Amino acid sequence: MDDCRAEAARRGWTVAEEYVDDDVSAYSAKTRPAYERMLVDLAEGRRDGVIVWHMDRLHRRPAELERFVDTCTTAGVRDVVTLSGDIDLAKGDGLLMARLLAAVAANESDAKRRRGARKALEIAESGRPVMGGPRPFGFEGDRVSHHPAEAAVIRDLAARALAGETLTSLATWLQNEGVRTVGGKEWRTNTVRQLLTNPRMWGMRVHRGQVIGTATWEPIITADQGERLRRLLLDPARRTNRTARRYLLTGMLRCGKCGNRLYSMPKNGKRRYGCAMGPDQRGCGGVFIYAEMLEGFIADAVLYRLDSADMHQVISGAPDEEQTRVLADAIQADTAQLVDLAKVYADRSISTQEWLTARDRIQTRLEAGRRAFALLTHRDAVADYIGRGDELRAQWDGLTFSRQVAIVKAVLNQATILPAAVPGRHGLDPNRVLADWRV
Ligand SMILES: [Zn+2]
């Protein structure tokens, strides 16, 4: 990039846009959104020149070069500069040069790829690590010995994720602790997800995106934890909902008058839950409750219940592995089916009515599956705290928000809020809260 900027400055060109496609993963389908955008900009006459470090950045296959050349020729773009020598596409030999370079590059990389692939598979099958590139987080430079401090961080992250903390919260925690990636960068939700779902962490050897056997290194977390992390963090439903929640009881409160869900409806800057009424809402608008005191009340009740004996009985014991697996598979199948269904509808193979009917049935099943999955996995959130409610109470305010939500959800199914006996009265009337406990 620096070389290209310097070249633009040397020529006195104004840089209108920098098109960068980072190679995110070796296994991802190689779409290049910035490159595609550049072609559109060239075709529509918004750009009159291109500076590129080397022709091999412009295309990976000869066919791609042809497309690039076509676009430039049609749009009258002639200034295509490579730092390894100018190529004037308007001239016959410029194009020939570019094509030759492309053909040579393609041929070289094919042969290299074939040789490399054979060797890589051989190494993978022996369980030895891939060398070259930055070392993986949690391991020393030999890619086999554990990096003690980083391995401890991974174990901590795994336990927290399985206990219901969100990726956002985990990434924030890493940032606050000053933990950096191997490249010295701050952690993001997607890099935390990649880390925790990488089978390398539980001693598996991955080759071209597939686990192909046991690795020569010791696992950092158990295979059981790893499999649960994959199901939890790669659940498609989770990816779409990343917004931070400020209301502890969102989704868990019902209106005592009409039975609809209560939503966050702050008033005069004070957090409040309420029954919403309006064109898009089916509520009655008859029940409101301030969040602060209600959340404190519910949290106390949750912590109290964590000390009770029957709670212990229900929650002790690890989640049923088989059941979790079956549920996760069903959720994935239903999600995929919804996508397929939309395609069938888009092709006009079915009517709107047929689409709606089928969609509703799949969605009902999907939601039931998600609820059951949440119940199973949320048990981890409280398993540590059974019989230690007092201790948890002391720590409660210091817990991250998502951790608090996970703990409340593990214990409380929902609470119905009755209308205020004396409207406008200050303080919380406990008789207004009818809690439906899971246990
Ligand atoms: Zn209502």
Strands of 253-255's sheet in order across: 253-255, 412-417, 433-437
Is the CB of residue 34 less than 8 Å from the CB of residue 1?
A: no
Residue 275's pLDDT is 92
CA–centroid distance, residue 280 to ligand 1 (Å) = 14
pLDDT digits (tens, 9 = 90+) for 403-434: 788 888 878 889 999 998 776 666 788 889 99
CA of 274 to the centre of ligand 1 (A): 8
Query: For every residue of 42-100, which 3-state class applies, written as one string?
Result: HHCCCCCEEEECCHHHCCCCHHHHHHHHHHHHHHCCCEEEECCCCCCCCCHHHHHHHHH
Q: For residue 240, is pLDDT > 60?
A: no
Task: With residue 353 as reference, give the H or E element that holds it.
Answer: helix 352-383
Res 60: pLDDT: 67
Q: How far is the CA of 283 from the centre of ligand 1 (A)?
A: 5
pLDDT for 388 equals: 67
Q: How far is the CA of 421 from the centre of ligand 1 (A)?
A: 15
Q: Which residue has the higher pLDDT, 95 or 269?
A: 269
In the predicted structure, residue 112 carries a pLDDT above the cut 70: no
Q: Over range 338-363, report the average pLDDT.
A: 85
Predicted TM-score (pTM) above 0.75: no
Report pLDDT digits (tens) over 145-186. 999 999 999 999 999 888 888 888 888 889 888 999 998 888
Give me ligand 1 centre to Cα 272, in Å: 14
Question: How far away, in angstroms, is 254 Cα from ligand 1 center?
Answer: 8
Task: Place 386 in a pLDDT band, splitting at 50, 70 and 90.
Answer: low
How close is the Cα of 133 to the center of ligand 1, in Å?
58
Q: Answer yes or no: is pLDDT of 232 > 70.
A: yes
Mean pLDDT for 349-376 is 81
What digits encode the pLDDT tens for the residues 33-69? 888 889 999 988 888 888 887 776 777 666 777 788 8
| CA of 41 relative to ligand 1 center, distance in Å | 52
* pLDDT range class, residue 334, cuts 50, 70, 90: confident
How many angstroms is it from 259 CA to the middle of ligand 1?
A: 6
Residues lining ligand 1 (ion), CB within 5 A?
255, 257-258, 275, 283-284
Q: Is the pLDDT of residue 270 over 70?
A: yes
Q: How far is the CA of 103 from the centre of ligand 1 (A)?
A: 69
For ligand 1, the distance from its centroid to the CA atom of residue 434, given in whole angstroms, is 15
Angstrom CA distances, 267 to 189, 272, 290, 414, 424, stand at 32, 7, 9, 23, 13
Q: Which one, of 115, 77, 75, lies nearest residue 94 by Cα?
A: 77
Distance (Å) from CA 197 to ligand 1 centroid: 42
Alpha helix positions (H), 204-290: 223-233, 236-240
